[in-house]
Chains A and B, each alone.
Chain A
């Protein structure tokens, strides 16, 4: 037992939810004709799901003491164990600080999603099974060091999410589910081609061998013609861009978000989008540093467009969930700006903002879901003056809102400020680009405060709104941990940045940018 926990902790963290899924699936419980379980059956399903979600969260916490933040390279490695010998595919896991943060985010949000989803009535058993499978797949993505293994996890994320949207979604769920599946799948197929091509030329799927100059495959890869590398880079980048999503590949996101059940939206925004971000940091930049550097102006442009465009479109949405969805486009624009600033501060900020976005947007989606549970509509117009009838909900919403628009001492500020500082210092951006990004912060205040005004303030004039009940204990238990995270990140971010110094420096070094960024302050100092 101890041996498994020390030597195979990652596998344990990844597959515990899957075991939970299997157990839930094997429970001898049948849905009644209306698709619901009887109450004792539902309790059992909830209990099992809860046990495994909590267990996995606790196990993921064990990663923290096991992890050495100062150490370079991948830690807690497992394998490589040969998996498919014909093609030299291995089962190979390992994490760095970036993965660690995203793993913790995943187990944290999945746990909250499970608690939140206790109110699911129809086909609860299947629902929990899909959530647990989804958790395993997402955790796998953040741990895999073998390209094929990564791809397998990457694609298997799609399937449970497809069913979550398609079965438990809202009115246009089928359209949204298919669009989500095909759109992201189309991107990933190109990436698969890229992976195969890499293998043909380097005979390995091992990420470490491909990115470390001490190994042959690295030199084989670098020896490829520039044009070939550019095509390969584009294949990877496109898959990740769609996942993030970057403008103009974002239109699947609002549809999927709006139609997905609440927990689905939370996981989608909180974790799945970060898979795209992670893809850039883990694969695109280390595998193709030169191409990534050269494409920085393009990506920064798209990121800036995304920031402003997402915010403007969010402002005019009549549907709360869509508003939050478009705000994600804007926030992820910041993340991409941070990555492609190619500065230490900017990249650290990008990772922080990924987690922050998961926390604050996740919280917003939870709260929109809570309001939907009460009134069965997402139309902003149907609300008004709710601060009087549900003051605690309003207070929580306000915290999420101010975290989302980056008020200092909340997590959002740390992310946005460090990203913009990185962009300011970046050789690819500078003061003007940063000023443009900063307008996104003004716009975010506009759409969020306007939303709050229309939903929570004004006269409580609609009869049905007067009788809404305030948050219950289950809901408070979902939101309170998120509030703690908001202020933890906001007031003492050092806890988390300690994990990020080494991996960010590694990425910076592999992209060949570290010296350049040091000389920037001199460049700026030579202002007229």
Chain B
């Protein structure tokens, strides 16, 4: 337990090391060796954090479930130094070790470490290699702060910190201004959500008088919420609802839920390891982690739970409709991530927080893998991301293909792959939710079919249909800006499998995607049992019997796959379901392809029109009106003084006259009270 501070500490050391020494290492050791050293340090530190997490886990598991919440300092030597201490506001650098935080530590350092390893290969030719690992280690640090923190303000530190790293890494290839804009969009949309988060934090302070989740004395706000009390009496449903909805607004930003999801697809402008680690496996699930952390408060508000479930399931469905038609392989995966995050919130919303976290876990495996696989495909295609120009890669890059197959079956919900168990648990729980449980379930189930369809589409387009490119043309043009400075074409020609460092990562995640779900088999759900000390219990009705749910889920997934396979088999040559003519006339297709026009509407409303309003405020109000008045008053005074200057003629006679007039005026004014009574 005394080593806990090293879990976030080691990546922080890595960050500082790379930030200050990275460049000079590359310079002094030579490009290849320097990069190897940096990559090894960055990756090694993250795995070291994983090792410590495992040790802490061993310690924690020795304790009884009731004691599985340990309070630790996040500073070296266990010191308890306050970060803020003003009035009644006290915030310490403290952490909580419990199943939830440890689970996230495993995901962040485990999957994170694997993706670090992958990145050492993927980024090998990049000239900004040290900068990449500087940001990457910093991200791990902030993410660990987020999951370990003892109070919600320190969680907000991690929350904003990962947002910062996301911004830095999306715009990593900053020379393309589009990447930079995507980074800005991500940061700004997240800040809109953070408005909710920070007001929510303030409301927590106003209601409970503390920001600590739990304290050893039982005075944390979740301690109180679990008992339904506040320092001033009972916890009202209104207060709980307000807090829950405000925090959920923050979650919508970070976890890309409707209507704040727009930044995530654009975030794919970053290097692919970034998409895998930050925008699929870890950061975007922070919203789910946060909602699960405050679950004892959430369960007090049926309205908030309903809102979370509805937003979740709608986002799942909505993003799936867009994923159906995208042509950029990373965009499909991005909308798929949005959709899967929707499932997680559906789980939280219906009170199955553990199921939501289970999906966070399996999703980290298979979605991380999908992105890494996509990166390997892009690598093989020398930077091409457009699936219309792919096809037939099955035999050319077999390791990538077979690992992708694992991930594909996992996300499509085919047993016994990982995604099946978690998705099934969420959907099963939804049927037991007292308000409109079956409706939520129906939408979720249909979305599962769509998921299977669009993922099969991705696989068909890239791996199975006939090739739609010529080997010698590959790398001749750089089709996507993001890979501008990341060109492998100097070394390789034609389709080529990725280096071992990348393939090892794929295989590790593939194994996890296959067997990772087995910890959560209904009836022997080790996962739920493990997580139980961290989440609020929520009594669900008896929903649909488990076997029927599993059967239906499998059937829908299988149907989705089958339909897609049959359809694409008929169009092996083109790899396109619709002809150009059909595409032009099909409103549904066009709507989906154009993201239902939401992004363009946002752009018009907030950027174009907002810019005009701002311009008007500056020119019309600030310069013309406000400063105009100022200058007018100044001008008036100037004019008057000009007028008065005329009196200063320089003639003694004139001065004498004015002086006399003045004296008379003064005398009259002094005598006025007396004169008034004379009644002349």
The contact sample of 5 A-B pairs, CB cut-off 8 A, is A421-B205, A456-B174, A458-B180, A497-B86, A527-B242
Check: A414 CB closer than 8 A to any chain B CB: yes
Check: B191 CB closer than 8 A to any chain A CB: yes
CA distance A409 to B207 in the complex (A): 25
CA distance A285 to B355 in the complex (A): 55
User: In the complex, what's the smallest C-beta–C-beta distance from B180 to chain A, in angstroms?
Assistant: 4
B86 & A418 in contact (Cβ 8 Å cutoff): yes
Residues of B within 8 A of A525 (CB): 206-207, 230-233, 236, 239
Q: A434-B199, A527-B236 are in contact. Are A409 and B630 (CB under 8 A)?
A: no
User: In the complex, what's the smallest C-beta–C-beta distance from A374 to chain B, in angstroms?
Assistant: 20
Check: B195 CB closer than 8 A to any chain A CB: yes
CA distance A522 to B230 in the complex (A): 10
Stretch at the interface among A43-51, A203-211, A307-315: A307-315
Q: A313-B618, A408-B161, A445-B188 are in contact. Are A385 and B175 (CB under 8 A)?
A: yes
B interface SS class? helix
Residues of B within 8 A of A434 (CB): 199, 202
Check: B84 CB closer than 8 A to any chain A CB: yes
Check: B164 CB closer than 8 A to any chain A CB: yes
Stretch at the interface among B357-365, B532-540, B550-558, B609-617: B609-617
Residues of A within 8 A of B82 (CB): 494
CA distance A216 to B504 in the complex (A): 84
Q: How large is the interface on A (under 10, 10 to 19, 20 to 34, 35 or more residues)?
A: 35 or more
CA distance A413 to B160 in the complex (A): 11
Known: A441-B191, A497-B84, A497-B85. 16 other contacts (CB 8 A): A312-B618, A315-B611, A407-B161, A417-B198, A434-B199, A442-B191, A442-B192, A453-B177, A453-B181, A453-B184, A458-B174, A460-B175, A492-B83, A500-B86, A525-B236, A526-B232
Residues of A within 8 A of B207 (CB): 521, 524-525, 527
| A485-522 interface bits toward B, Cβ cutoff 8 Å, 1 = contact, 0 = none | 00000011110010011000000000000000000111
CA distance A450 to B610 in the complex (A): 14
Q: A458-B177, A459-B175 are in contact. Are A438 and B198 (CB under 8 A)?
A: yes
Check: B209 CB closer than 8 A to any chain A CB: yes
Check: B187 CB closer than 8 A to any chain A CB: yes
Q: A182-B634, A251-B630 are in contact. Are A421 and B89 (CB under 8 A)?
A: yes
CA distance A407 to B199 in the complex (A): 16
CA distance A453 to B178 in the complex (A): 10
Residues of B within 8 A of A500 (CB): 86
B184 & A313 in contact (Cβ 8 Å cutoff): no
A492 & B164 in contact (Cβ 8 Å cutoff): no
Residues of A within 8 A of B660 (CB): none
**Chain A residue at smallest Cβ distance from B178:** A458
A399-429, CB < 8 A from B: 402, 407-409, 413-414, 417-418, 420-421, 424-425
Check: B87 CB closer than 8 A to any chain A CB: yes
Residues of A within 8 A of B167 (CB): 449
**Chain A residue at smallest Cβ distance from B623:** A251
Check: B156 CB closer than 8 A to any chain A CB: yes
Residues of A within 8 A of B83 (CB): 491-494
Residues of B within 8 A of A413 (CB): 160
Residues of B within 8 A of A456 (CB): 174
A408 & B156 in contact (Cβ 8 Å cutoff): yes
B160 & A407 in contact (Cβ 8 Å cutoff): yes
Query: Chain A: residues with CB nearer than 8 A to chain B?
Result: 179, 182-183, 248, 250-252, 309, 312-313, 315-317, 343-345, 348-349, 385, 387-388, 402, 407-409, 413-414, 417-418, 420-421, 424-425, 431, 434-435, 438-439, 441-442, 445-446, 449-450, 453, 456-460, 491-494, 497, 500-501, 520-522, 524-528
A450 & B184 in contact (Cβ 8 Å cutoff): yes
Q: Kindly identify which residue among B179, B206, B233 contacts A425, using a CB–CB cutoff of 8 Å.
A: B206
**Chain B residue at smallest Cβ distance from A406:** B160
B175 & A388 in contact (Cβ 8 Å cutoff): yes
A interface SS class? helix
The number of residues on chain B lying at the interface, defined by a beta carbon within 8 Å of a beta carbon of chain A, is 58
Check: B171 CB closer than 8 A to any chain A CB: yes
Residues of A within 8 A of B231 (CB): 521, 525
B84 & A524 in contact (Cβ 8 Å cutoff): no
- Nearest first, the 10 closest Cβ-Cβ pairs linking A and B are A528-B238, A458-B177, A457-B180, A524-B206, A457-B174, A408-B157, A251-B627, A344-B87, A424-B202, A527-B238
A453 & B180 in contact (Cβ 8 Å cutoff): yes
CA distance A493 to B87 in the complex (A): 13
Looking at B179, B194, B206, B209, the one whose CB has the most chain A CB atoms below 10 A away is B206
| B226-263 interface bits toward A, Cβ cutoff 8 Å, 1 = contact, 0 = none | 00001111001011001000000000000000000000
User: In the complex, what's the smallest C-beta–C-beta distance from A175 to chain B, in angstroms?
Assistant: 10
User: In the complex, what's the smallest C-beta–C-beta distance from A43 to chain B, in angstroms?
Assistant: 33
A315 & B614 in contact (Cβ 8 Å cutoff): yes
B32-83, CB < 8 A from A: 81-83
Residues of A within 8 A of B233 (CB): 525
Q: Kindly identify which residue among A252, A309, A343, A431 contacts B617, using a CB–CB cutoff of 8 Å.
A: A309
CA distance A491 to B160 in the complex (A): 14
Q: Kindly identify which residue among A385, A460, A522 contacts B232, using a CB–CB cutoff of 8 Å.
A: A522
CA distance A424 to B86 in the complex (A): 15
B634 & A407 in contact (Cβ 8 Å cutoff): no
Check: B622 CB closer than 8 A to any chain A CB: yes
Residues of A within 8 A of B592 (CB): none
Q: Kindly identify which residue among A251, A407, A526 contacts B622, using a CB–CB cutoff of 8 Å.
A: A251
Check: B574 CB closer than 8 A to any chain A CB: no
Residues of B within 8 A of A431 (CB): 199, 202-203
Looking at B81, B175, B194, B209, the one whose CB has the most chain A CB atoms below 10 A away is B175
**Chain A residue at smallest Cβ distance from B202:** A424
User: In the complex, what's the smallest C-beta–C-beta distance from A187 to chain B, in angstroms?
Assistant: 12
CA distance A447 to B167 in the complex (A): 15
**Chain A residue at smallest Cβ distance from B209:** A521
B160 & A408 in contact (Cβ 8 Å cutoff): yes
Looking at B191, B195, B209, the one whose CB has the most chain A CB atoms below 10 A away is B191
**Chain B residue at smallest Cβ distance from A500:** B86
**Chain A residue at smallest Cβ distance from B171:** A457
User: In the complex, what's the smallest C-beta–C-beta distance from B138 to chain A, in angstroms?
Assistant: 11
Residues of B within 8 A of A526 (CB): 232, 236
Residues of B within 8 A of A316 (CB): 611, 614-615, 618
Q: A449-B187, A450-B184, A521-B207 are in contact. Are A459 and B89 (CB under 8 A)?
A: no
Check: B654 CB closer than 8 A to any chain A CB: no
**Chain B residue at smallest Cβ distance from A388:** B175
User: In the complex, what's the smallest C-beta–C-beta distance from A416 to chain B, in angstroms?
Assistant: 9
Residues of A within 8 A of B626 (CB): 248, 250-251
Residues of B within 8 A of A435 (CB): 195, 199
